[in-house]
Amino acid sequence: GAQAIHPGCGFLSENEGFAGAYRDARIIFIGPSVEAIHAMASKSATKALMETSGVPLVPGYHGANQDAAHLAATAAQIGYPVLIKA
């Protein structure tokens, strides 16, 4: 049987359950730990973790207030140009 598995790039390399199944079967998973995959599963949680770890981040706005005037003021505070993502 296999002693180790490399998931490649993409879906399986980011799948916590896939990595955990190999860990539980005592097969070496050549990739991030289950804990690392879990920590990076949410973009907002990942950004918060990086911020508390002192990693430099691109400034942005992730608030719930979507009023045009508020967004314009926030964009001016961040500095132009800005990238708007839905």
Examine residue 81 and state whether it is found in any structural domain, yes or no.
Answer: no
Residue 62 CA, chain-centre distance (Å), reads 15
Q: Which structural domain, as residue segments, surrounds residue 15?
A: 1-41
pLDDT at 24: 94
Q: What is the pTM of this model?
A: 0.58
Examine residue 19 and state whether it is found in any structural domain, yes or no.
Answer: yes
Q: What is the pLDDT of residues 31-80, one digit of tens each?
A: 999 999 988 888 888 888 899 999 999 888 988 999 999 999 999 999 99
Contact between 9 and 32 (Cβ < 8 Å) = no
Examine residue 33 and state whether it is found in any structural domain, yes or no.
Answer: yes
DSSP-derived 3-state class of residue 4: strand
Examine residue 16 and state whether it is found in any structural domain, yes or no.
Answer: yes
- How many structural domains are present in the chain? 1
Residue 55 CA, chain-centre distance (Å), reads 13
Q: What is the pLDDT of residues 16-44, one digit of tens each?
A: 999 999 999 999 999 999 999 988 888 88
Asked if pLDDT for residue 85 goes beyond 90, the answer is no
Examine residue 15 and state whether it is found in any structural domain, yes or no.
Answer: yes
- Residues 6-31, buried b or exposed e (16+ Cβ, 10 A)? ebeeeeebebbebbeebeeeeeebeb
